[in-house]
C-alpha cells in the first residue's frame, strides 16, 4: 500500500527541504518507487537540492488545473531511477491550492509510487494545512533550539486537528528528526539534548542528523549529502530512510568529542 508522508517544521531554515531530498533519495536507494513533491508554492527550492532545476517544464499546479498530464510534469532523478520529483509553481501563490484537486493528485501519485513525500512550506498557514490534509503520516524536522521546537509543537497541534485522518476519527502517525545536532554544544549546555526535545514534543524519534558543513555544499551542487559515503549526515539519512521502509536500523546518537579541542586534535593526529 502506498504511503503519503508530509515533511513539516514550524519555522523555516531548519533543513526541512534538505531532509525531504535526502530521505526521498534514500528510500529510492532501498529499491522503492518514491516521488518527492514540492508543496512550497511560489518558493520552489527542492528542485535545486536535487539538481533538477533545469529540467522543470510543467509543475504541480498545471497538473491539478489540467494544463499538463502528470507524466509530463514528473521528473526522474539523475541519481536514482526509482526517485521522481514533482515541482511546485513559481508563478502562482498558495491561494490556488484546493482540497479536492490535491486529493485527486495524491490519489494519482499513490497509484504510481510506494512512497509519496510532501515537502511542506514553513510556517502554519494555508499552504501548510493543504500539505498535511491528506497525509498518512508526518515527519517533524527540528533544530535543537527553543524557537524551532516551540514552532514545531504548534505545527503538530494543527496536524492533530485539521488532517483528514483526524476528522475521520483516526490518528496521524508522527515521527521526529532532530537536524544539525552538535553533541559538543549539548555538553556545554548551549544546545538542547535529544531527550529534552522528545519530552517536550512527545513523539517518536526517527533519527538524529549531526551538524555537517558539507550539507550546504552538497545542496548547492544539486547532490544530496546522502550520496557522500563519508559524510556523517549522509549516513544518518541512510539509516532514517531504512527505518521509513520498515527496516530495524538502530538510531545512532552523535557523541561529544573527548577532551574538547585538545581531544579532537588528538583524534585527528592519532
> For the range 108-112, what are the long-range contacts, defined as Cβ-Cβ under 8 Å and sequence gap of 24 or more?
108/70, 109/2, 109/4, 109/35, 109/37, 109/70, 110/2, 110/4, 111/2, 112/33, 112/35, 112/70
CA separation for the pair 42, 38 (Å, rounded): 10
Closest among 266, 53, 15 to 143, alpha carbons compared: 15
Count of alpha carbons within 13 Å of 153, Cβ hemisphere only? 12
CATH topology of domain 3-269: Rossmann fold (3.40.50)
pLDDT number for residue 258: 67
The residue ranges of every structural domain in the chain are 3-269
Contacts with 171 (C-beta within 8 Å, 6 or more apart), sequence order: 165
- Cell 519555522 maps to which residue? 11
Closest among 27, 165, 43 to 35, alpha carbons compared: 27
pLDDT number for residue 266: 40
State the pTM of this model: 0.93
pLDDT number for residue 257: 81
Instruction: Give the SS3 label for residue 3.
Output: strand
Instruction: Give the SS3 label for residue 101.
Output: helix
DSSP string, 152-214: HHHHHHHHHHHSHHHHTT---EEEEEEEEE-HHHHHTTSS--HHHHHHHH--EEEEEEE--TH
Q: pLDDT digit of tens for each residue in the chain (270 aa)?
A: 899 999 999 888 999 999 999 999 999 999 999 999 999 887 789 999 999 999 999 999 999 999 999 999 999 999 999 999 999 988 777 667 899 999 999 999 999 999 999 999 987 777 899 999 999 999 999 999 999 999 999 999 999 999 999 999 999 999 999 999 999 999 999 999 999 999 999 999 999 999 999 999 999 999 999 999 999 999 999 999 999 999 999 999 999 886 544 444 344 433
Amino acid at each position: 500500500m502506498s504511503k503519503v508522508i508530509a515533511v513539516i517544521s514550524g519555522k523555516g531554515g531548519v533543513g526541512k527541504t534538505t531532509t525531504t531530498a535526502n530521505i526521498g533519495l534514500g528510500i529510492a536507494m532501498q529499491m522503492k518507487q518514491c516521488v518527492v513533491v514540492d508543496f512550497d508554492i511560489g518558493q520552489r527550492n527542492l528542485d535545486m537540492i536535487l539538481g533538477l532545476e533545469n529540467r522543470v517544464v510543467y509543475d504541480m499546479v498545471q497538473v491539478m488545473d489540467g494544463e499538463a498530464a502528470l507524466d509530463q510534469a514528473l521528473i526522474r532523478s539523475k541519481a536514482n531511477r526509482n526517485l521522481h520529483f514533482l515541482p511546485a509553481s513559481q508563478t502562482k501563490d498558495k491561494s490556488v491550492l484546493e482540497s479536492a484537486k490535491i486529493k485527486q493528485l495524491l490519489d494519482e501519485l499513490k497509484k504510481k509510487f510506494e512512497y509519496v513525500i510532501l515537502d511542506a512550506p514553513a510556517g502554519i498557514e494555508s499552504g501548510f494545512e493543504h500539505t498535511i490534509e491528506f497525509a498518512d503520516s508526518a515527519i517533524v524536522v527540528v533544530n535543537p533550539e527553543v524557537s524551532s521546537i516551540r514552532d514545531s509543537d504548534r505545527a503538530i497541534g494543527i496536524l492533530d486537528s485539521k488532517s483528514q485522518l483526524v476528522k475521520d476519527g483516526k490518528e496521524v502517525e508522527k515521527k521526529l528528526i532532530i537536524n544539525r545536532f552538535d553533541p559538543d554544544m549539548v555538553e556545554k549546555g548551549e544546545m538542547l539534548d535529544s531527550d529534552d526535545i522528545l519530552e517536550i514534543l512527545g513523539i517518536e524519534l526517527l533519527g538524529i542528523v549531526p551538524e555537517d558543513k558539507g550539507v550546504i555544499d552538497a545542496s548547492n551542487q544539486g547532490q544530496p549529502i546522502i550520496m557522500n559515503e563519508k559524510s556523517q549526515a549522509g549516513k544518518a539519512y541512510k539509516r532514517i530512510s531504512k527505518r521509513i521502509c520498515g527496516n530495524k536500523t538502530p538510531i545512532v546518537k552523535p557523541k561529544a568529542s573527548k577532551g574538547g579541542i585538545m581531544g579532537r586534535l588528538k583524534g585527528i593526529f592519532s
